[in-house]
Amino acid sequence: MERSKVVQDPVHGSIGVDGVFLDVMDRHEMQRLRFVKQLGLGNLVFPAANHTRFEHCLGTYHLAGRMADAIGLSREDSDAVRMAGMLHDICHPPFSHALEPIMEEATGLDHMELARALIMGDIPNHLPEYDDVVGGCPTMAEVMEAEGISAEAVCGIIAYPESTGEEALDRLWNKHEYFPSKDYAHQIIHGPVDADQMDYLMRDAHHTGVSHGSIDSERLIKTMMVQNDRIVLRRGGITAAEGLMVSRSLMYTTVYFHETVRIAQRMLTKAVENADVDLSDIYLKGDTDLMAMVEASGGKPARSVHRIKARMLDKKAFAVYSDDMTDDKAEVLLDYTGRDGARRLEQEVADTAGVDVFDVGAEVTSSSNLQGKMKIGKTDVAIADDGGRIKSLAKFSPIARSLQARDPYGWAVLISAPKGERDAVRRAASKVLGF
């Protein structure tokens, strides 16, 4: 008799997990995600936001299965996309997106590329101290293949999302003759209306208490179909698609780009960057593991971690908000975008203020946002009209057109410092930027 479990989930209710999916869910690689918070340090602002990547991956697996059923996928394709949903974040670093750039520097791979390597057994799948309990276990690829699921297909969906490219969108709108094989499978995990974002928006809204994450997932899934090798929504799904876009835009402003959360995350990243620790296996660690490593390294990084734990956070010293932006200010800030640009701004402000650069944090909006090209996820949701013609949601919806132009950050530059140095840093930032 095949093993099965029903997991009670606060967002989706009962989630059934059976067979090889239960085997994979119970593996140590998945169990690590119980110790990686979905929103990083978001619980410093939203106290109930203690949910984890493990819960999110189960939710994505669940929604991916429902989407696969809705569009009539074969058992083979359905199993592959459900497994990809479960494993898509398997290599997220501690504190999730906050430390992803650090992980990429340390390993040379992003979390999706690491996922492929982990699943296929090309990199270690556990820390040496766990040899006594998981040493010698088969790779996840071997477990899947034994049950008839192609590990290559699963990794392809996770690490090579064809559906997110501009070329793929061009093929859809302009009806080119060629369409990528089974691109609809990629879209279930990496598309304009996908299982990943539906789950994280609903789950993050639930645990933060923010009401903006209400999504009619039932309507979205029931109006899905495949046309030209891609997932589109029937016209009856337009209102639900608008709701998804509104939720996504507001959640980014309210939660993901919240000023205090970003300041706390910058404190953490600077502590990790400056600590004398080996990060080559960071993808195998949890939040508390990393905190303990940085604390053990001593010095300013350890003190910074202590301050985070005590919620004695840096304060906002200087900010320019979207409402106050001009073309001239955007031109100046373009020189400071990206990770290297923000570091350079921190150094210039610190030198001008006469403080240690470790005590200056800088967050700058993306270059695409400064240039008015920012899009959160894919806003070009494909809608099939009554005649079967495929059009962008923006062709039907003024709400969608407006949201495509909305700045999701709310701020363009945000500079922080410890309370005692805030005034000096504020004056220095104003001088460096000329604002």
| In a domain? residue 183 | yes
- pLDDT at residue 5, as a whole number: 95
Residue 335 Cα distances to 298, 339, 434, angstroms: 34, 11, 13
Measure the CA–CA gap between 6 and 18, rounded to whole angstroms: 9
- The single residue listed with the structure tokens 């990206």 is 338
- pLDDT at residue 224, as a whole number: 96
| pLDDT higher than threshold 70 for residue 378 | no
- pLDDT at residue 111, as a whole number: 87
Q: Which residue has the higher pLDDT, 404 or 3?
A: 3
Structure tokens given for 59: 């939710």
Q: Which residue has the higher pLDDT, 164 or 11?
A: 11
| pLDDT higher than threshold 50 for residue 167 | no
| pLDDT higher than threshold 60 for residue 177 | no
Partners of 6 in beta bridges: 16
| In a domain? residue 66 | yes
| In a domain? residue 304 | no
Task: Give yes or no for a contact between 185 and 81, defined as CB atoms under 8 angstroms apart.
Answer: yes
Task: Give yes or no for a contact between 229 and 180, defined as CB atoms under 8 angstroms apart.
Answer: yes
- pLDDT at residue 386, as a whole number: 82
| pLDDT higher than threshold 60 for residue 174 | no
Residue 123 Cα distances to 116, 130, 279, angstroms: 9, 15, 14
Mean pLDDT of 296-306: 97
Q: Which residue has the higher pLDDT, 388 or 107?
A: 107
Domain count, the chain: 1
- The single residue listed with the structure tokens 């010698």 is 136
pTM of the predicted model as reported, rounded to 2 decimal places:
0.92
| In a domain? residue 411 | no
Q: How confident is the model at residue 181 (pLDDT cuts 50, 70, 90)?
A: low
| In a domain? residue 330 | no
Cα 324–Cα 329–Cα 334 angle in degrees, nearest 5: 125
Count Cβ neighbours within 10 Å for each residue of 373-402 and write b for 16 or more, e otherwise: ebebbbbbbbbbeeeeebbbbbebbebbee
Q: Could you tell me the CATH number of the domain that includes residue 101?
A: 1.10.3210.10
| In a domain? residue 335 | no
Beta-sheet pairing, 361-364 with 411-417: antiparallel
Task: Give yes or no for a contact between 291 and 305, defined as CB atoms under 8 angstroms apart.
Answer: yes
Q: If residue 7 lies in a helix (H) or strand (E), which one and from where to where?
A: strand 4-9
Q: Is 45 helix (H, G, I), strand (E, B) or coil?
A: coil
Task: Give yes or no for a contact between 200 and 92, defined as CB atoms under 8 angstroms apart.
Answer: no
Task: Give yes or no for a contact between 24 and 17, defined as CB atoms under 8 angstroms apart.
Answer: no
pLDDT in tens, 154-164: 999 998 654 44
pLDDT in tens, 231-248: 999 999 999 999 999 999
pLDDT in tens, 346-374: 999 999 999 999 999 999 998 888 876 54
Measure the CA–CA gap between 130 and 54, rounded to whole angstroms: 20
Q: How many residues belong to the chain?
A: 435
pLDDT in tens, 12-59: 999 999 999 999 999 999 999 999 999 999 999 999 999 999 999 999
Q: How confident is the model at residue 219 (pLDDT cuts 50, 70, 90)?
A: very high
- Rounded to 10 deg, the angle between the 259-274 and 100-107 helix axes is 30
- The single residue listed with the structure tokens 């109006």 is 223
| In a domain? residue 36 | yes
Measure the CA–CA gap between 90 and 53, rounded to whole angstroms: 8
- pLDDT at residue 168, as a whole number: 44
Contacts of 332 (CB under 8 A, 6+ apart): 433, 434, 435
Task: Give yes or no for a contact between 401 and 304, defined as CB atoms under 8 angstroms apart.
Answer: no
Measure the CA–CA gap between 161 and 188, rounded to whole angstroms: 10
Residue 316 Cα distances to 303, 304, 363, 417, 424, angstroms: 19, 16, 11, 7, 12
Q: How confident is the model at residue 169 (pLDDT cuts 50, 70, 90)?
A: very low
Structure tokens given for 42: 């978001």
pLDDT in tens, 104-151: 999 999 888 999 999 999 999 999 999 999 999 999 999 999 999 999
pLDDT in tens, 426-435: 999 999 999 9
| In a domain? residue 294 | no
Dihedral sign, Cα of residue 412, residue 417, residue 420, residue 425:
negative
Measure the CA–CA gap between 42 and 38, rounded to whole angstroms: 9
pLDDT in tens, 261-292: 999 999 999 999 999 999 999 999 999 999 99
Range of the domain at 17: 4-209
Asked which of 79-88, 201-210, 314-323, 397-406 is least confident by mean pLDDT, the reply is 397-406
Can you point out the beta strands (E) in 351-429? 361-364, 382-384, 390-392, 411-417
